[in-house]
Amino acid sequence: MTVYINDLSCFTPFGDLEQTWKGVTENKVAYGPITKFDPNESRYTRSKVAGEFHFNAEDYPIITESERDRLPESNQWALALASKIDLDIIDKSRTGVIVSPGFSMYLEILKANKDNADNIYHYCPDMIAHNINMKYGLTGASAMTLTACSTGVYSVIWAAMMIEMGMIDHALAGSVDVTIHPDAFKQMGKLRALTTKFNDTPEKASRPYDTKRDGLVLSEGGAIFLLSKNKTNKTICQIDGYAVNNDAYQTVAPHPNGEEVQKCMAEALKGRIPSLINVHGTSTPMGDYAELDAINRLGLQEVPITANKSQLGHCMGAAGSVELAMSIMSLKHAIIPPTVNVEEVEEGYSPKIYNKSTSAEITSVLCNSFGFGGTNASILVS
């Protein structure tokens, strides 16, 4: 069975889907100095750069005043994203919700504990999907996945599998992560995962594959997709393959040989050659080239690659869904997004990277998403 993607919505530090695509194709970056809190108040916040999405719930009448008071911000973002999806074309009794939180789940529990809040919405991560079910009357099966930075793609794959199994006919699937918070910088800073060398030149901070890369830019956002077993006049693309697996290596680092990443991509592709690969590309010293080695071993070294995190930063649990949205926009508009800030790559490598948005014939895009705990996910859309 073929599963189709018939609609999507997206938030990034650039704004909504249209604003994000405009920023991406104009070769801009969405991150800059932290403004949501004072990074100088904590000795743990050595990285002063972030990709911030400034959300105003009052812009979305679907979110009631009561919901603004009691729901975590991640749940409000999810409701707002779902409100942009055309739900009139589906049978709501056969529509599931597989929308997942990321790092924000941990932050919301911390906040509830600090505030001594007695609010189940802050303690139950599945409430992000449940609130969409209730708001829009979707009574099909619902679930969530928590696979760190691969959560978004995992959620879409899970939804596609549920449709293929006949459990549901349609699904809202994706992820949301609200991350710009002192505790997130504290935890990621302790792991030495964040960039610290570009605090004075934040626009240069995220630089996948560049020899001067020193860590990721923490960012936030979300994306939700309408998946369906039915092709309609609104169909944007179809899912042609997917795979998930695990490195079984280390909690916070990918296996340096990239063997499981290679297997994951190979299973999703099944011998096909994509027009474009949207790489995970975090701008961390270890991860970037393990993925590139895997691509090269598959004989795909001539396939153009794009690293959305160079422009958007790392949206954590929302990274996969946001980058899948950009992959679909690349497919729709026949444009390869740039990978900015790449001045010099490691010796012996020559990835097919463009530093400006480039028109190209694109018939399929492979989107890779990997996460802490060794989780790997690849999805092919055409």
Which residue numbers are catalytic? 149, 280, 314
User: Cα(20)–Cα(26) distance, rounded to whole angstroms?
Assistant: 10
Tokens 């959300």 belong to which residue? 55
Among candidates 179, 213, 165, which has minimal Cα distance to 77? 179
Burial (Cβ within 10 Å: 0-12, 13-18, ≥19) of residue 65: exposed
Centre a 10 Å sphere on the Cβ of residue 252 and count the other Cβ atoms it contains: 15
Tokens in use for 365?
Answer: 């895009």
In order of 177, 182, 217, 252, the CA distances from 44 in angstroms are: 21, 8, 15, 19
Strands (E), 267-316: 276-278, 305-306
Rg of the chain on CA atoms, in Å:
19
Distance, CA of 233 to CA of 271 (rounded, Å)? 30
